[in-house]
Amino acid sequence: MDLRDELEASLGELYSIEQELGGGGMSRVFLAKETSLGRRVVVKVLPKELTGGVNVDRFRREIVLAAQLQHPHIVTLLSTGQVAGVPYYTMPYEEGRSLRAHLREQGPLPIAEVVGLLGDVAKALSFAHERGVIHRDIKPDNILVCGGAAVVSDFGIAKAVSDAKDQPPPHETGETLTQIGMSVGTPTYMAPEQAAADPDVDHRADIYSFGITAYEMLTGRPPFCDSSPRKLLAAHLTEPPEPILARRPDTPPALAAMVMACLEKEPADRPQSARALLHVLEIVQAGEQRAARAQVQRGSLARQLALGLVALVAVSILARASIIAMGLPEWVLPATLVAAVLVIVALVGRAQGIARAITPMTPARRRE
């Protein structure tokens, strides 16, 4: 009996499996329909080589903690169980695609999009960290882009696997998800303390992985890549990443500084909370909005001044024609032009004020 048949037998009448969506080193992924409510869910089954030595009851307790997270930017865990002694868990099916697929298609993303998506991830991390839940495997594969917003999936799974171990695993599981000692995570995005199998890994490991993900969103590549898992882990421990401005010169300095700070080797040298990241991102977003608004206003002002110049020429022609036809004194022309200039200036100023007034009052606008 293959895994799908075993899973269908284990799920019984609760869910009906529709198709396998794929997966990687972390899990095999199935799309199913919840029988009672008719909604689609995702069922993820952890691979046996990853879960060797996992205490299923302890894993379930960790999942129950992660399932308490209810947030717009977090994919909620619905249930957990086991099939053939291997843990699985279910979550809602989200329309959209992974950030990994988005990056594969688009390459480096526009600054405004990067800031918006990172802000959503930072909100999810802040919410989870404040409730004692660490992700431990932040990466583009675990971030879904849905309707222009980001939601984070698999919260707490890597930690649940690690903490539920009865004994260290005997071997690695490859490039996608690896274990060395008791560390669990993805080598490309793993914090130095995870690579060193530090038993006291905390939320700041997520800050590091957030920085790696941000670096990749901006440059199209993570800072350390094209190496074996062990070389990647060694790079996280010892090698400084290339400055992000060297790869993406148009990155706002505050954003570049934040990303590089996230990549500090020592947890104490990184931003100490996801809320701090969110604050920086709001400042960067404010600058991007001001720059965009200024560009629009400059274009609008140029059009208005051009129209004003045309109107001024028309007024001067009419005034000169009136002087000739009606025998008016010569001072009428300069007086008319002065009056026309004052009217044009007043109209342009009023138009600029209206444009500013109808701009959405964002937090950035309030600080201006």
Q: What are the structure tokens assigned to 165, written together?
A: 């171990």
Nearest Cα to 311, choosing from 303, 322, 354?
Answer: 303
CA distance 35 to 66: 24
pLDDT (0 to 100) of residue 45: 83
Instruction: Give percent helix, percent strand, percent coil of the chain, each to the nearest 5.
Output: 55, 15, 35
Spatial separation of the C-alpha atoms in residues 187 and 8, rounded to whole Å: 33
Check if 202 is active-site. Answer: no
pLDDT value for 210: 97
In the set 137, 141, 154, 206, the catalytic residue is 137
Q: Is residue 183 part of a domain?
A: yes
Q: Where are the alpha helices (DSSP H) in 107-241?
A: 111-129, 157-163, 192-195, 204-219, 229-238
Which pLDDT value is given to residue 63? 78
pLDDT of residue 362: 47
Q: What is the pLDDT of residue 220?
A: 93
Q: How many other C-beta atoms are found inside a 10 Å radius of the C-beta of residue 57?
A: 9
Instruction: Tell me if 77 is assigned to some domain.
Output: yes
Count of H helices and E strands in the chain?
14, 10
Q: Are residues 207 and 318 in the same domain?
A: no
> 200 in a domain, yes or no?
yes
Q: Is residue 278 part of a domain?
A: no
User: Which of 219, 239, 272 lies at the terminal end of a domain, its last residue?
Assistant: 272
Domain count, the chain: 2
Which residue, of 242, 272, 302, is where some domain finishes? 272
Token pair belonging to 98: 């992974």
Whether residue 9 sits in one domain with residue 127? yes
The CA distance from 190 to 229, in Å, is 10
Q: What is the pLDDT of residue 339?
A: 78
184 and 311 part of one domain: no
Indicate whether 49 and 166 sit together in one domain: yes
The token pair at 67 is: 């399932």
Q: Provide the CATH number for the domain around residue 71.
A: 1.10.510.10
* 289 in a structural domain: no
Looking at residue 332, what is its pLDDT? 65
Let me know whether 244 and 358 are in one domain.
no
205 plus 304 within the same structural domain: no
Secondary structure (3-state) at 133:
coil
- All residue ranges of the chain with pLDDT < 50 are 167-182, 358-368
Q: What angle do CA 229, 26, 227 make, to 5 degrees?
A: 15
Could you tell me what percent of the chain has a pLDDT over 70? 75
pLDDT tens digits, 79-93:
887 777 777 888 888
Domain coverage including residue 331: 294-367
Asked which of 221, 239, 272 is the last residue of a domain, the reply is 272
